[in-house]
């Protein structure tokens, strides 16, 4: 479906640091983190835009944007090329000071008003590039029009004990938002913002002109808008997950493996970029040697499995040698698990080398949190950074972190206790 006649403009916010993803965002932006074997997180938002029929997109980047820019490229993978179609990468207008960077989600939009004015539109859709979901944005646009809204916010019901993580809205019988609290400590509602907005473009431009300092949608724009304007909640009832923490990222990958999987990227029409850096389209089919054991796992192209893989997600090019075991884990592109090694409840970034007989995820005590980042790692998951080495015979406990590019000679000894970092 084409919506070129409407000229609706989409802005995709993809500049957040995403620090709670720890070493996974040390070398890349959060939306560029690989997911589900062959995708990156941003592929879900880009595909939702494509599948909803919109074709003019601006991607607002900031933190470590290089891999994200390389991944998006010309936008051809999502059909964003042509005379009336396109995706534009919009970096921050930085000067010499950190203070020149975006000062909130709405400030990111404000700093790109020239791009908005250069692409005249009746409505403007704003969404984040770091969520896993499928959504018909065209339906949300029509809801916005039917309500005669100035602003429409995508919202969904969440458990009340989680509401402190979100913007929360109280609505009247018509669905209009009459009260708003940003990350409330005490829940008065279970209706949470997804960070997806539809604005009348002229209305948003007028609103942005009334602010001069730091500017965020949840803290500034929405409270002012509901005070006197037409702001409605668009109800969303499908799968949606913010994968902004290690635990949430691991759980979302594991959701792929459930018998009643609530997430189905291929069926949803989610597209990866087949010509991306790791070139998944050029990989040979996965190979499974005689005597290997694979249970309830996602194995991408280019993998070679000689050992055991259980309840795990393996990106392209992963090798699991004879006698090796991978369990409850996520291994990104081209990791090698050598003979007799064990990887248990761990996330390995790209090109990690696990030496012969090494153990990543040792011991039964999963409750001792990481000493340096206790709010990041506290459920037993161990992280191994990009291109790091785990020397042969090394034992690494639970909730541990091995920094990217760490070499075997830099380890303090053959055993890394639970909760420690290297």
- For 165-176, write each residue's pLDDT tens digit: 899 999 999 999
The per-residue pLDDT for 98 is 45
The answer on pLDDT for 57 being more than 60 is yes
Edge-first strand listing for the sheet containing 359-360? 293-295, 308-310, 325-327, 342-344, 359-360, 395-396, 415-416
The per-residue pLDDT for 401 is 98
Terminal CA-to-CA distance of the chain, rounded, Å?
51
- pLDDT classification of 15: cutoffs 50, 70, 90: confident
What sign does the CA torsion over 210, 213, 215, 221 have?
negative
The answer on pLDDT for 2 being more than 60 is no
The b/e string for 38-69 (b: 16+ C-beta within 10 A; e otherwise) is bbbbbbbbbbbbbbbbbbbbbbbbbbbbebbe
The answer on pLDDT for 214 being more than 80 is no
DSSP for 146-190, written as a single string: HHT-SEEEEEEE--GGGGGGSEEEEE-TTSBEEEEEES-SS-S--
Average pLDDT estimate for 327-355: 98
Average pLDDT, the chain: 91
Coil, strand or helix: which one is 46? Answer: helix
- For residue 345, give both structure tokens: 């409840």
The whole-model pTM stands at: 0.93
The per-residue pLDDT for 39 is 95
pLDDT digits (tens, 9 = 90+) for 282-305: 889 999 999 999 999 999 999 999
> Which domains does the chain show, CATH number per domain?
9-255 (3.90.550.10), 283-416 (2.160.10.10)
Edge-first strand listing for the sheet containing 401-402? 298-299, 313-314, 330-331, 346-348, 382-384, 401-402
- pLDDT classification of 191: cutoffs 50, 70, 90: very high
Least confident of 3-17, 116-130, 188-202, 318-332: 3-17
The answer on pLDDT for 96 being more than 60 is no
């Amino acid at each position: 479906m084409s919506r070129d006649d409407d000229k609706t403009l989409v802005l995709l916010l993809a500049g957040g640091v995403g620090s709670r993803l720890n070493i996974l965002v040390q070398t890349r932006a959060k939306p560029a983190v690989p997911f589900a074997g062959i995708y990156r997180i941003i592929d879900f938002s880009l595909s939702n835009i494509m599948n909803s029929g919109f074709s003019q997109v601006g991607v607002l980047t900031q933190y470590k944007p290089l891999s994200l820019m390389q991944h998006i490229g010309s936008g051809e993978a999502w059909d964003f090329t042509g005379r009336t179609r396109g995706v534009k990468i919009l970096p921050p207008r930085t000067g010499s000071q950190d203070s020149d960077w975006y000062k909130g989600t709405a400030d990111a939009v404000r700093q790109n008003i020239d791009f908005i004015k250069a692409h005249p539109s009746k409505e403007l859709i704003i969404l984040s590039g770091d969520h896993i979901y499928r959504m018909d944005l065209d339906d949300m646009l029509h809801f916005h029009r039917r309500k005669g809204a100035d602003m429409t916010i995508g919202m969904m019901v969440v458990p009340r004990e989680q509401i402190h993580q979100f913007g929360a809205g109280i609505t009247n019988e018509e669905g209009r938002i009459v009260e708003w609290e940003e990350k409330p400590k005490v829940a008065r509602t279970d209706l949470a913002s997804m960070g997806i907005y539809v604005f009348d473009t002229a209305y948003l431009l007028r609103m942005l002109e009334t602010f001069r300092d730091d500017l965020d949608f949840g803290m500034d724009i929405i409270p002012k808008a509901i005070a006197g304007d037409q702001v409605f909640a668009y109800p969303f009832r499908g799968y949606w997950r913010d994968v902004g923490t290690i635990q949430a990222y691991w759980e979302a990958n594991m959701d792929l493996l459930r018998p009643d999987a609530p997430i189905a990227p291929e069926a949803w029409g989610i597209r990866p970029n087949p010509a991306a850096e790791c070139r998944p389209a050029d990989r040979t089919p996965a190979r499974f040697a005689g005597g290997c054991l694979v249970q309830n796992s996602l194995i991408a192209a280019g993998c070679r499995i000689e050992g055991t893989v259980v309840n795990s997600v393996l990106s392209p090019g992963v090798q699991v040698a004879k006698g090796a075991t991978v369990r409850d884990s996520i291994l990104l592109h081209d990791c090698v698990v050598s003979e007799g090694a064990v990887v248990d409840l761990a996330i390995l970034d790209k090109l990690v080398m696990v030496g012969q007989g090494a153990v990543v995820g040792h011991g039964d005590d999963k409750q001792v949190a990481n000493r340096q980042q206790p709010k990041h790692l506290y459920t037993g998951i161990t992280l191994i950074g990009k291109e790091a080495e785990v020397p042969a015979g090394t034992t690494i406990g639970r909730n541990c972190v091995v920094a990217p590019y760490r070499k075997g000679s830099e380890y303090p000894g053959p055993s890394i206790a639970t909760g420690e970092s290297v």
